[in-house]
Structure 1
Amino acid sequence: MAAEYRIGRASLRTCLLLCLPLAHAFYIPGWSIKSYANGEPIPLFVNKVYSDNTQIQYAYSELPFVCPPSGRSRPGTGLISGSNVALNLGEVLRGDRIMVSDYELEMNNDDEVHYLCSQKVDEAGLKKAIEVVKHGYVAEWIVDNLPGATSFVTVDKSRKYYASGFKMGYEETSLTTGQSKYFLNNHVTLMIRYHRAPGKDGQRGRKVIVGFEVYPKSIEAENRDANGLSSAVVALDTEIEQSTLTIPYTYSVYWREEDKLGWGNRWDLYFVDQEDSTKIHWLAIVNSLVISGLLTAVVTVILARTIRSRKNSSEKLPGLLDQLDNDTTLPAAAASSDIDSDDDIPEDITGWKLVHGDVFRPPPYGHYLAPLIGSGTQLLLMSLGLITLSCLGLLNPSYRGGFITVGIILFLLAGALSGHFSARIYRTFGGTNWKHNAILTATLFPGLFFATIFLLNLFVWAQASSTAIPFGTLLALLALWLLIQLPLVYIGSWHGYLRSGPYPHPISATALPRQIPHPQPWYTRPLPSVALAGSIPFAILFIELLFVFKSLWQDKSGYYYLFGYLAVITTITLVSVMQTTVIAVYILLCHENYHWWWRSFAVGASSGAWVFAYCGYYFVHHLRVVGWGSGVLFFAYSALACLVYALLMGTVGFLTGYAFVRRIYGAVKVD
């Protein structure tokens, strides 16, 4: 089905005004508007069932207690009932399984009651029905690319909004016995809202669909009125005393004209609840700006001191550095004592200037750091591309699976730059086997990610869930990795290592490493400094994380929409990581500790650990997940997401620290 490229409420003015969502919604004209004449048949697609209480999804058409597809041709649509709709890669990975249904819809023709089928359900099917109802599963149906929705009103009853999907059933608990009974919804009332088509199609009486509401109901077979409907219900016996149960399925269709809602903003009702949280988003932005402002002040002071110290010591510094180079074999305490007692040494020749001969010494295990930076660069480019396209409205809910599909494409294309940066850093560290580094860069993160997904997939396969990735899709992902990403990384590595060469340093490393004074202050030790530095970006990000997590885990059918706010928060978070890294590296160098390479990466990546800890808090206090399997999936996917975030921010921290160190030592040249 065609993707509707939409510039949403967080779109054009979003990008012009720091990506803040202030604009009204509109679509790119003439791309995917489909209009219908009166009486024209419209297909209804069934997709999947999902629940906020579990991470296990199922294909709706594969449930044993629903009507199986008849396989008959649908005149006027060119479709056959039961045929699968071609899906993009993102749709498959998110668990979509879209199929043509037997539900018959005709534009503007009401159908008060329509019999679909009577499904004979055995004991296993009844158990599955009870499981689906008990765990609060909702079904997703699709008409004209709109998901069927349950209609609600806001707290002040001033506006209506949609929650995608509708309940498969409901539970009632007896007040006397305390036992629960489960009721299956076997009748649906479809309310489809339409608007006059824009342009010439509207003048010819054609219409566009702007709303799709589903009202489910449970109706018992033996107690139907003359129209086939009743207020009685289909109860699923939890003890399953009888081995089979015949469940009749019916539906009603009503068409209503909607004057106030046009095709261009028909998705707005799905996001009313997100828009009501605007004040909280602004609070998050103000909180972020305050923290970033404090960091900016500290960084400004640091840069001002370094610039002033350069001017004050420009004449005496070269001779002093020569003396320090000759005394590198002395114990650190003795060297420090001599310097302090020398009246000819300027007061500002202390701390970071004393380690000029070691600050660019290659770090230990640098052959692992270079591939990490390469992978982080790849993820950084992918993330920035996704957020930018989302702010422009090119990635929106109407483009089902588009976010994942485009993300994979951007990740593959960024492989060339990943290999380039990794190879240059690798050669800067003195590496000689660039081919080995290229292979490691191309396989380090994708290999770990693919292996984890494969192991999780084995577990999901056992649950017969639509979340399981088909074997053919796994082979396609493997082919994309080995046939596209790996060659691009290899080409980029070849260019970065052989053509571009190493990054030049203003000062060469001395032959012997300088001793680091001990003990170091507690705030310069690895664990405290990294943990403290990581808490600052997390303090900026955590408010927005609440909305992202709600969209991902509590409202899986919902779509995170406010990418304008997310873009602003992400920008401030990146800036805060850069500022925090500058402060952490400067403090480290001031205490004559030149092991800043890995520390700069760890400072940026450490906020990922805070985010993962927040995932645990969110799991305990906000989710109602049932079953250990769903918990395993939650923490496994959360760990992968936090790993991506840590690599991304660690790369930002490393590049910032590297640029800062090269900058402040740029004036110190020893021939």
Structure 2
Amino acid sequence: MATTHPALLFLVVLACTGAASGFYLPGVAPADFRKNDLLAVKVNQLSSIRTQLPYSYYSLPFCRPDTIINSAENLGQVLRGDRIENSPYVFEMMEPKLCQITCKIVLTEQGANDIKEKIEDEYRVNMILDNLPLVDPITMIDRDAPPYYQQGVNLGVKGLYVGSKDVMYFIYNHYSFLVKYNKEAQTDLARIVAFEVKPYSRKHKPDGDWKGNATRLKTCNPHSGLLVVYSDGPQQIEANKEIIFTYDVNFEESDIKWASRWDTYLRTTDGHWFPIVNSLTMVLFLSVMVAMIMLRTLYRDISKYNQLESQEEAQEESGWKLLHGDVFRPPVNADLLCVYVGTGVQFFGTLLVTLLIAILGLLSPSNRGGFMTAMLLLWVFMGPFAGYSSARFYKMFGGVEWKKVAIRTVLVFPGVVFLIFFALNMLLWGVKSSGAVPFTTMLALVFLWFGISMPLIFIGSYLGFKKPYIEDPVRTNKIPRPIPQQPWYMNPAVSMLIGGILPFGAVFMELLFILTIIWMHQFYYIFGFLFLVFMILIVTCAEITIVLCYFQLCSEDYQWWWRSYLTPGSSALYLFLYATFYFFTKMQITKAASGVLYFGYMLIASYAFFVLTGTIGFYACFWFTRLIYSSVKID
């Protein structure tokens, strides 16, 4: 099997380099601001890597605006658990403010306990300004290194206070915002390029009676010339005690261009190339093995077999050549195999087109939920390819009820995924998480499934079944040939487990990076690298399946149909096992609901990976067997 073409590899490397360095098209048009223009800060979900259960910002007793307005959200945002709303934080462009009072809140017993629980679980507050997420810059040990930008800001902290032996909880009730902007030299227009914050916990005291937000504070003097002046220590969380929320905002001109403002969020290390090189080395090794089989062993076998002068001489031969009368015999449960092959084609097309769109920069991180929305819609509109592929193989296997296989293509894979997703959503509803998908969104998903995807699959199945029958290169005997006793290493379970190791190894390092990005709530935008890993995965699955399929045929075992699907598909088992290992070694989850959520989503991911890799291996083996048996002269 041929390796990746050098020109294609060069283009992919260019795409990788561009995607990793911020070469992408912006997802939204830039917003220009003048001095004193109002800047409205929006709030998003409360998130935690310890629980993975997002909550609405206003689920806690924070300062509220007069009217809470929900921002319009796309399908991907809803599925991600984003709940974007307005906030009482409103700035004036290029107008620094010191010690601005947001509001005063008296905590109830329930409110105090809720905040303590969220601090215990290390929840972070997420805000947005001009579509940029709020970040907390953390200085690295190496002072010359750029700071690490942590998305959101901690809700509070727990610890021991001076003179006390009890654990206390302190809330960050003062935010020191920093808005960086890039100003055009020809005009007074400016564009926001960074939104940073430093949180503080300080116990404020009003200077006299409380008179709303116009009250002066003893512990904060905005006219002192300093940023803030505090004197009463941190703000402890106690029931029936008041908390005064304040903030500062400062503006700083920056050299960062608007088109590059996401680079700090998307910065990656140069070491990302190392796993790519390892995977390419493995692909090269497999390519050499396949080339040896195709160009030497097979060519020698075919030439020798075609030169035999009599049928008696041919019968004395052994190996794959004797299986020409049985190798294309329909497998057991052929209908189900057709369904999984069609579903794999649908998933393959969805992933391929999504990655190509992302490489072109059309899925900017500023377009929140865009990647997930694109995948869902592409999955729906790839339905004709799924129906076409299922029906073509179904007809080849002698099936006549094409509607039956179309229905199963609609239901099998999406049905399993939907049941798992619905169960997880019920769990999120039970814990009152904002990640729970609303009932109306569930109806929208069902409509996409049965209202659009199902008709498209039926159209594809109809067209595929109307196509001419796929003729086998050799005739199939009426009586099946007995399969000889197989050595232990050719046992289906053993060969499948061996075959799944290499596809998993091809994506192992990138999988580690992706898991870290997803479950640690970071941004992923190196789609060029992901596309290259995807290409490596395709080649690896195809080549390892061809090699093992050839060994199986040489052992005179012609039941290769399901084996060719399950061999690379077993890599999904390794993926799930590694996800389990990652959970116990990297994650800090302690709650049962969070653990169920993690393993539920990883089960869906592993199932999808099984369908994807299995389909790639099946098509590779199908092409391989038709190629070699069409080269043999048979009377």
TM-score scaled by length of structure 2: 0.92
Q: Which amino acid aligns with 1:295?
A: L
Q: Which amino acid aligns with 2:246?
A: T
Q: Is the 8 A contact 1:425 1:502 kept in 2?
A: no
Q: Is the 8 A contact 2:27 2:366 kept in 1?
A: no
Q: Distance in 1 between matches of 2:341 and 2:109?
A: 55
**What is aligned with 2:348?**
380
**What is aligned with 1:172?**
159
Q: Which amino acid aligns with 2:306?
A: S
Q: Distance in 1 between matches of 2:24 and 2:590?
A: 40
Q: CA deviation at 1:312?
A: 2.5
Q: Which amino acid aligns with 2:600?
A: A
Structure 1 stretches of 5 or more lacking a match? 1-11, 72-81, 324-343
Choose the corresponding residue for 2:149, options 137, 140, 162: 162
**What is aligned with 2:517?**
551
Q: Is the 8 A contact 1:160 1:269 kept in 2?
A: no
Partner SS for 1:541: helix
Choose the corresponding residue for 1:455, options 423, 438, 457: 423
Q: Is the 8 A contact 1:18 1:568 kept in 2?
A: no
Q: CA deviation at 1:14?
A: 8.5
Choose the corresponding residue for 1:504, options 465, 471, 483: 471
Q: Is the 8 A contact 2:204 2:220 kept in 1?
A: no
1:312 paired with 2:312, answer no
Choose the corresponding residue for 2:202, options 219, 244, 248: 219
Q: Deviations over 1:335-356 (max 9, x none)?
A: xxxxxxxxx4598x42111111
Q: Distance in 2 between matches of 1:591 and 1:445?
A: 33
**What is aligned with 1:144?**
130
Q: Which amino acid aligns with 2:354?
A: L
Q: Is the 8 A contact 2:331 2:559 kept in 1?
A: yes
TM-score scaled by length of structure 1: 0.87
Q: Distance in 1 between matches of 2:95 and 2:276?
A: 49
CA RMSD of aligned residues (A): 2.1
Relative distance call for 1:111 and 1:225 in structure 2 (3 A) is: closer
Partner SS for 2:570: helix
Name whichever of 649-658 and 25-34 sits farther off: 25-34
1:183 paired with 2:170, answer yes
**What is aligned with 2:209?**
none
Q: Which amino acid aligns with 1:233?
A: P
**What is aligned with 2:263?**
268
Q: Is the 8 A contact 1:423 1:497 kept in 2?
A: yes
Q: Distance in 1 between matches of 2:9 and 2:307?
A: 53
Q: Which amino acid aligns with 2:15?
A: C
Q: CA deviation at 1:308?
A: 2.4
Relative distance call for 1:87 and 1:179 in structure 2 (3 A) is: same
Q: CA deviation at 1:204?
A: 2.1
Q: Distance in 2 between matches of 1:495 and 1:540?
A: 36
Q: CA deviation at 1:30?
A: 11
Q: Distance in 1 between matches of 2:10 and 2:161?
A: 52
Q: Distance in 1 between matches of 2:97 and 2:598?
A: 43
Choose the corresponding residue for 1:535, options 495, 501, 520: 501
Q: Is the 8 A contact 1:13 1:21 kept in 2?
A: no
1:583 paired with 2:553, answer no
Relative distance call for 1:116 and 1:29 in structure 2 (3 A) is: closer
Q: CA deviation at 1:153?
A: 3.4
Q: Distance in 1 between matches of 2:161 and 2:322?
A: 78
Structure 2 stretches of 5 or more lacking a match? 1-7, 206-217, 223-227
Partner SS for 2:54: strand
Name whichever of 403-412 and 31-40 sits farther off: 31-40
Q: Deviations over 1:189-226 (max 9, x none)?
A: 110000014xxxx5221000000001111121337244
Relative distance call for 1:143 and 1:575 in structure 2 (3 A) is: same
Q: CA deviation at 1:62?
A: 2.6
Q: Distance in 2 between matches of 1:359 and 1:564?
A: 40
Where has structure 1 moved over 6 Å in runs of 4 or more?
174-178
Q: Is the 8 A contact 1:171 1:182 kept in 2?
A: yes
Identity %: 36
Q: Which amino acid aligns with 1:267?
A: W
Q: Distance in 1 between matches of 2:190 and 2:415?
A: 50
Relative distance call for 1:133 and 1:30 in structure 2 (3 A) is: closer
Q: Is the 8 A contact 1:416 1:491 kept in 2?
A: yes
**What is aligned with 1:564?**
528
- Alignment length, in residue pairs? 607
Choose the corresponding residue for 2:437, options 452, 469, 476: 469
Partner SS for 1:364: coil
Q: Distance in 1 between matches of 2:389 and 2:561?
A: 15
Question: 1:422-437 residue pairs with structure 2 within 5 A?
Answer: 422-437=390-405
1:32 paired with 2:52, answer no
Q: Distance in 1 between matches of 2:511 and 2:27?
A: 36
**What is aligned with 2:589?**
625
Choose the corresponding residue for 2:243, options 244, 247, 258: 247
Q: Is the 8 A contact 1:61 1:99 kept in 2?
A: no
**What is aligned with 2:62?**
66
1:289 paired with 2:257, answer no
Partner SS for 2:364: coil
Q: Is the 8 A contact 2:22 2:266 kept in 1?
A: no
Question: 1:410-425 residue pairs with structure 2 within 5 A?
Answer: 410-425=378-393
Q: Is the 8 A contact 2:104 2:242 kept in 1?
A: yes
Q: Which amino acid aligns with 1:162?
A: Y
Partner SS for 1:247: strand
Partner SS for 1:464: coil
